[in-house]
Amino acid sequence: MDRYCVFGNPVAHSKSPAIHAAFARQTGQRLDYDKRLAPLDGFAAAVHAFIAEGGKGANVTVPFKLEAVRVAQALTIRAQAAGAVNTLHFTDDGIIGDNTDGAGLVADIVNNAGVPITAKRVLLLGAGGAARGVVLPLLEHRPRQLVIANRTVATAAALVERFAALGGAGVVSALDYADLAGPFDIVINATSASLDADLPPVPASVFECGTLALDMMYGEQPTVFMQFAADHGALTRDGLGMLVEQAAEAFALWRGVHPDTAAVLAQLRAGA
Ligand code: ATR
């Protein structure tokens, strides 16, 4: 049976094995998908050991997404743009590094939430790895504007410079939270603030009735960002749909079949 896994540290909480098992059942693919705790200083060795055991591919989660860029022998364009790898494919031509996070986010917004990105005003909160990974896929949908807000504005400005050269000129801009004036059609929280039950210092004026407010994080309860957005008229969404969609993109890359994500997302939401 073809073997896949997710590398992380910690990794015990990962929902990826359940998601990929559901995809495999649904598509009739025979595969085995595990979680693997890689030592903090032993990610590359863990990948090579898995390949030696016959591994065909792997997902990569915190904190190894940057190191996975170096482990890969070739990168897809979207992995190059993201500067991070969440999917490895072990092929006869070597280790290919891809990044399916942005495509997963966009698929969740457009297909699952039913909100088109084209011609919309989009606000991206945060300028770290999570934000960088989704800029190119967002730009590919041609929003009217893509504003990146970050506490450290210089980091957001550096992202703007990077993506202006990749088709974002005239669309993408950087702002301080204090200078944000809304409203926006789509607001995406790509900061790690929710991990600390914290709220990015975003003014309520970025939301209007019907704004889609999406937090890349997910948990048992809505995040503080989702609560704040809902209090100001937004429709809210957590990161579970993005998680399932990025997994589906990886599954399609490995197996050549794109699973039906709606059924699996519904199962996860129901706690199955
Ligand atoms: P990740 O890989 O999850 O993106 P990261 O690269 O460390 O992690 O980036 C974290 C992002 O969350 C940064 O944009 C950070 O803002 P700064 O660059 O100004 O530090 C942002 N962030 C973290 N905690 C935050 C908070 N409480 N409020 C607002 N932004 C926060």
Give residue limits of the domains in the chain: 2-99+241-269, 102-238
Structure tokens at 119: 């011609």
Ligand 1 atom at minimum distance from 62 CA: 2
Virtual torsion, Cα 15, 185, 134, 50, nearest 10 deg:
10
Rounded to an integer, the average pLDDT of 186-205 is: 95
Q: How far is CA 184 from the centre of its chain?
A: 21
Average pLDDT over residues 116-145: 96
pTM: 0.95
Residue 167 has pLDDT above 90, yes or no: no
User: In this model, does residue 249 exceed pLDDT 80?
Assistant: yes
Q: Give the whole-angstrom CA distance, residue 87 versus residue 258.
A: 15
Mean pLDDT in residue range 140-168 = 96
Write down the pLDDT at residue 271: 83
Q: Residue 31 C-alpha to ligand 1 middle, in angstroms?
A: 36
Q: Which CATH class is domain 102-238?
A: alpha beta
Instruction: Give the span between the Cα atoms of 160 and 166, in whole angstroms.
Output: 10
Other C-beta atoms closer than 10 Å to the C-beta of 20 total 27
Report the pLDDT value the prediction gives residue 200, as an integer from 0 to 100.
Answer: 97
pLDDT at 83 over 70: yes
Q: What is the average pLDDT score of the chain? A: 96
Span 95-119, average pLDDT: 98
Q: Is 85 left (phi over 0), alpha (psi -120 to 50) or beta?
A: beta
Which residue's alpha carbon is at the smallest distance from atom 29 of ligand 1?
200
> Residue 44 and residue 46: Cα distance in Å, rounded?
5
| The predicted structure's pLDDT at residue 55 | 98
Q: Are 85 and 79 in contact (CB under 8 A)?
A: yes
Residue whose structure tokens are 């915190």: 62
Query: For ligand 1, is residue 148 a contact (CB within 6 Å)?
Result: no
Pick the CATH number of 2-99+241-269 from 3.40.50.10860, 3.30.360.10, 3.50.50.60, 3.40.50.720: 3.40.50.10860
Helix, strand or coil for residue 260? Answer: coil
Total Cβ atoms within 10 A of residue 250: 29
pLDDT for the residue numbered 182: 82
Mutation probe of ligand 1 site: the residue of 105, 191, 242 with most atoms within 8 A of C-beta: 191
Let me know if the fold of 2-99+241-269 is the same as that of 102-238.
Answer: yes
Number of residues assigned to the chain = 272
CA distance 190 to 32: 31
- Which entry of 15, 35, 56, 65 is annotated as an active-site residue? 65
